[in-house]
A and B are shown apart, each in its own frame.
Chain A
Amino acid sequence: MRQKPLIVILALVVLVAAAIGFAVGRKSSPEPRVVSSPPTASPAIASTAEPVHAGDQIDAIRRGAPVNQEIAAPLMARVENADIKRVRAYPMQPPTIPHSIDNYQIDKNSNRCLLCHARANADKFQAPPVSVTHYMDRNDQFLATISPRRYFCNQCHVVQTDAKPLVANNFKDIDSILSEEHDKKAN
């Protein structure tokens, strides 16, 4: 084995070359993404409860999770069932339903909402009757029953859950604007 030193030197050379190659390769690769780098995230999103990964944000529905990760689903929101009427959240908003409507049948056979909210039944159940406009056809002629174009209640009227709003809303109705104007003038 006269070539023993030769083999050792060869092995050393290979090792050193591999080390240099690794170091160079690491340097030229892009910087690994820092999870908590704030500058790209807008302050509104950053302030939400769920962590937002700025670089990996592909789809807001994923709630900031990288695409290769599965995160736990949020708890299902509960429908508010307190029978307390709400103010509108934007002009001309159809009033929201203040109770749960689980399994209400609304089809051509039957309409569970109208059981209580039809004008003929409203007294029996002390329910707010649907607006007279819902009995008018498109030519403003009154009909005996609900107008077919208003039949499917939850096309416009929906229940509300206790889920956290995703988007803030600073809508003020006309009454509060007028009263603010009045206060300003008074001062």
Chain B
Amino acid sequence: MWPRIKRWLAALWRTIRRPSIHYSLGFLTLGGFIAGVLFWGAFNTGLELTNTEAFCTGCHEMRDNVFQELKTTIHYTNRSGVRATCPDCHVPHQWTDKIARKMQASKEVYGKIFGTVDTREKFLDHRLELAQHEWARLKANDSLECRNCHNYTSMDLTRQSTRAAEIHKRWLGSGEKTCIDCHKGIAHHLPDMTGVPQG
């Protein structure tokens, strides 16, 4: 087996190393460039396709559990009609971070194939663990996905209720806490929170 692969690889290496006999330099460079553009475009389009609410709710695991909970919150419907869809909060917007998150998400593909949370009961059993992953991620990046829209420097504290203004000034303004420290369960229901620090 191994000698055969070795022979095959050696032949491939020889072909790659040799200058082209039939194709011109212009064809190869231009063709390579165009193929690269096509590949890149297709790759990014495919990636963006997986970054939509329709794709996320295509699986019943998401549609029947977390999506139903999101529907009752202000991030789904509100007076101004701006909706935060799944990837707005769960996928980083920066390209490198996004690719890193997408690679992590291969675990979720595994979970989908092997039905890790394919019933309500299984989902509830895993809910705390799943939530903790998201809390840890948002804590580590200082609630980056929240801050893509909610910026402390853009907050008009006088338009908030006095209670909210006080707390934001004291904890968020000082940088002691980040959004997710207090706003766990802002878009989904909370799992059993005994022993989980809140606020």
Contact = CB atoms under 8 A, between A and B. Distances in A.
B189 A115 contact: no
Contacts of A108: 192
Nearest to B196: A110
Contacts of B192: 108-110
B161 A103 contact: no
Nearest to B162: A83
Given A83-B162, A102-B74, A103-B74, A121 B193 contact: no
B72 interface: yes
B185 A110 contact: yes
B148 interface: no
B74 A99 contact: no
Contacts of A22: none
A124 B163 contact: no
A105 B185 CA distance: 8
Interface residues of A, number: 20
B198 interface: yes
A110 B74 contact: no
Majority SS of interface residues in chain B?
Answer: loop
Majority SS of interface residues in chain A?
Answer: loop
A109 B189 CA distance: 9
Chain B CB within 10 Å, residue with most, of A82, A105, A107: A105
Interface in A43-99: 81-83, 99
A103 B191 CA distance: 15
B166 A126 contact: yes
Given A83-B163, A99-B163, A115 B198 contact: yes
Interface string A115-141: 110000100111100000000000000
A116 B199 contact: yes
B167 interface: yes
Nearest to A126: B166
Contact of B199 (A82, A103, A105, A115): A115
Given A103-B72, A105-B185, A110 B193 contact: yes
Given A105-B189, A109-B193, A125-B199, A99 B161 contact: yes
29 contacts: A81-B161, A83-B161, A83-B162, A83-B163, A99-B161, A99-B163, A100-B161, A102-B74, A103-B72, A103-B73, A103-B74, A105-B185, A105-B189, A107-B189, A108-B192, A109-B189, A109-B190, A109-B191, A110-B190, A110-B192, A110-B193, A110-B198, A112-B185, A115-B182, A115-B198, A115-B199, A124-B199, A125-B199, A126-B166
Interface of B: 72-74, 161-163, 166-167, 171, 182, 185, 189-193, 198-199
Interface of A: 81-83, 99-100, 102-103, 105, 107-110, 112, 115-116, 121, 124-127
